[in-house]
Structure 1
Amino acid sequence: MNSLSVVITTFNSEETIGLCLDSVGFADEIVILDSFSEDDTVALSKQAGAIVKQQKFKGFSEQKKDAIAMASHAWVLLLDSDEYLSDAAQQAIQQWQKQEPHAHGYHLPRIEWVFWRWSHRWVRHNKFLRLFDKSRMRIEQRLVHESVEIEGETATIKAPIMHFGERSITEKLNKVNHYSRLAAEEKFAKGKRCGVLRVVFYPWFYFIRQYLFKRQIFNGFAGFINASINSYYAFLKYAKLYELRKNRD
């Protein structure tokens, strides 16, 4: 039996943390690292039996790294507070716990909530490495879009994570503005450059990739809006990088 620690980072997550915790009640341990929430996140987490620690937010990568280090068991399932495991995922992971692991880390598909609907099953869903042996793991040091990397073999489990990432157009636009600044600053710090042509033309390519190649078209008008905002993110990211370069020069 593979003992499992579920690790979650939180901040003002009272709207989604209950569903998240309910979906991982089978775990041997639930560890939450909270960034001093001002709502009922901590109280709800403690009521669900989670181990709650708090520390000042140190950045996405560092926060997750510290949270994982708090887990007691070798195997960790990493979730965000606005995610939960589908019924199929709960069954798949519990079945995995009963078997000898054949990899050091596992990718799980993630299904997105797109404004007012769940993403269509024909949309190409991203996969994320979320179940892993923490002794083989490292967090890629990034300002945004941090990811887990594994030294060793990886595989995929059909255990869909449900993600309330796009609950409204306003929320997505606020996130896009914030994340595009972080992404631009990260590229700038690495010495990356950006010309006018990339700012002008890359967002159009990004829209086509999102809407057609990643099949957002099957999400109806919600998919069109989502692909459009994603292309706006691409525009902002490189426009802000261009601005940083101009201000430096």
Structure 2
Amino acid sequence: MPRPVAMITGPTSGLGAGFARRYATDGYDLILVARDVERLELLAAELHDEAGAHVEVLPADLAVEADRAKVAERLSRGVRILVNNAGFGTSGEFWSADLAVLQSQLDVNVTAVMALTHAALPPMLADGAGTVINVASVAGLLPGRGSTYSASKAWVIAFSEGLANGLGGTGVGVHALCPGFVRTEFHERAGIDMAGTPSILWLEVNDVVRDTLAGVAKGQVVIVPGLQYKLLTTGGRMVPRNLVRAMTKVVGRGRGRT
């Protein structure tokens, strides 16, 4: 029997690498999508050697329309799992940031999620089985932690919830993963200073991946790993938004990021 296939975007580090390793261990073949060909090939070789997975490397910059189309074409031939993990944040303030960089951020965080999900769903529906995991963020649930990044993740959550409603009974699920601070390269790459962040707010990659797949198995649409973040997001829905903004300004460092 052929092994099921999982496509993961942004797999060369952090959560993407965690999902790649987990799905390879669980018996999936993989399609890995990222810009860094050298890191893609190193990960592909590692997963083949360790888990026996067949790994297809698909270099692409999801901020570029032609590359998004290339990845979408591969998805149109069918996968069982799509993890829309690629995304990035930036440091600095919105009004002084390079508009082209902000547009690239939305192209990766929003446009790519929409385009790749649109390509993946028809063959999943034809098979009556499939899962899309869209990596959002707690930032999309709590106001005040940056501007364009938080807005992009709020879009991902609303998009995923709307699709999940429409897909009921089809055998295909769409889920929004909303992690808090995870020990990855994300903040360093964005140039965001995380010194002084309380240790209780940090999550580990393997724990997030484990909690995500458990949430998928339970049919949860919005998945928030970590008890601390479940409490924060639940509380955020129960108190006035001006208080939530004040809290995230202190805890989440709402300034100095876009």
TM value normalised by structure 1:
0.37
Structure with higher Rg: it is: 1
Structure number having the greater strand percentage: 1
Q: Which has the higher helix share?
A: 2
